[in-house]
Amino acid sequence: MHLGMSSYSFASKIASGDLDILGVIDWVGTSKAEHLEIATAGLGVDLIERPELVEEVARRAAERGVALVSYCVEGNFRDPDRAAQIARVKAQVDVAHQLGISRVRHDVVEWAWRERDEDELAETFALIVPACQEIADYAAERGITTSVENHGFCINNSERVRRLIHLVDRPNFGTALDIGNFVCVDEQPVSAVAQNVQYASVVHLKDFYVRTVEPGRGWLKTVAGNYLRGSILGFGDLEISRIFGIIKTSGYDGPLSIEFEGLEDPFLAAEIAIENAQRIWADA
């Protein structure tokens, strides 16, 4: 089990100014986590524009013995200036290369966007497939695997992710498999993970509370009108043990990165999540 953390787990501390990416590296270096995934969302800084920070991140990670295994960036290939979006993701691939990271996950549309009908979805695939191909080819020259995450409201369910992977048709393009995000589009995570784990270059470990009636502030409304709130891994309503069993029996041997999105203190949440992940994985 190659268990680590996503920097996004500490986004609330970063947003408040109590923490920065170097502090995240320091914390991971003293924890039971084996690696760190850097997610640009919630980082509070754009590493493209801070080359000196890229060097400092690489140096601090080496000093603390923290492996940097994945780099998650935004992207929107429905943007009218699609060429600029592609160029920016390529620049992020270069950042990953400088950090010695061999996996880059990039988004393909805005997180909250969802198509109006099948025609608009087909038009979207016609835009995002060549963009993913161009970026994957660019990344391949640097020894980097790119991926799309089941993320947001459009390219999320397992079938759409697989469709994109097959259409892109590049050996270094797969999925960042988030075990929890499927519930945003009301897909059952157990079956979704089983169908997509063979395409995974990295796996995000996440848990949610799921409700059918709105509980109050801080909850996300799903496509079908259910409600979600991030939880500490093992505390929520997802069948984590079954999902872990599927991942284990699949033969997947890559990074497993905890991504916490709940309301609790992220340091405590991360500690408990690591303990729970280790225990549930051993028993799965």
What is the rounded distance in angstroms from the CA atom of residue 223 to the CA atom of residue 47?
Answer: 33
When pLDDT is cut at 50, 70 and 90, the band that residue 126 belongs to is very high
Question: Rounded to two decimals, what is the model's pTM?
Answer: 0.97
As a whole number of angstroms, the distance between CA 139 and CA 182 comes to 27
Instruction: Give a yes or no: residue 250 inside a domain.
Output: no
pLDDT in tens, 19-35: 999 999 999 999 999 99
8 Å CB contact between 233 and 256: no
Residue 247 belongs to a domain = no
Residue 234, domain member (yes or no): no
Between CA 143 and CA 73 the distance in angstroms is: 18
pLDDT tens readout for residues 61-96 = 999 999 999 999 999 999 999 999 999 999 999 999
Task: State residue 68 phi and psi, 5-degree precision.
Answer: -100, 115
pLDDT, position 187: 98
Report if residue 37 sits inside a domain.
yes
Distances (CA, A) of 5 to 27, 61, 92, 237: 10, 13, 20, 21
Query: What tokens does 203 get?
Result: 């796996």
What's residue 258's pLDDT? 98
> Is 60 part of a structural domain of the chain?
yes
Q: What is the pLDDT of residue 274?
A: 98
* Alpha helix stretches (DSSP H) within the chain: 11-15, 21-30, 51-64, 82-99, 118-140, 158-168, 189-196, 240-250, 266-283
- Dihedral sign, Cα of residue 126, residue 131, residue 133, residue 134: positive
- Tokens standing for residue 3: 């268990």
Residue 257 lies in a domain: no
Q: At how many degrees (to 10) do helices 158-168 and 118-140 cross? A: 50
- Residue that has been written with the tokens 């997610």 in this structure: 39
What CATH number has the domain bearing residue 33? 3.20.20.150
Q: What is the pLDDT of residue 125?
A: 98
Domain span at residue 104 reads 2-205
- CA 281/CA 284 separation, integer angstroms: 5
CA separation for the pair 224, 9 (Å, rounded): 26
Look at the chain and report how many structural domains it folds into.
1
Instruction: List, edge to edge, every strand of the sheet that includes 207-211.
Output: 207-211, 227-231, 220-221
* Tens of pLDDT, residues 193-223: 999 999 999 999 999 999 999 999 999 999 9
With respect to residue 110, please indicate whether it lies within any of the assigned structural domains.
yes
Instruction: Identify whether 29 is part of a domain.
Output: yes
**Strand, coil or helix: 10:** helix
Q: What is the DSSP string of 96-156?
A: HHHHT--EEEE-SS-TT---SSHHHHHHHHHHHHHHHHHHHHHHHTTT-EEEEES-SSSS-
**Any bridge partners for residue 200, and if so which?**
175
Instruction: Name the band, by pLDDT with cuts 50, 70 and 90, for residue 150.
Output: very high
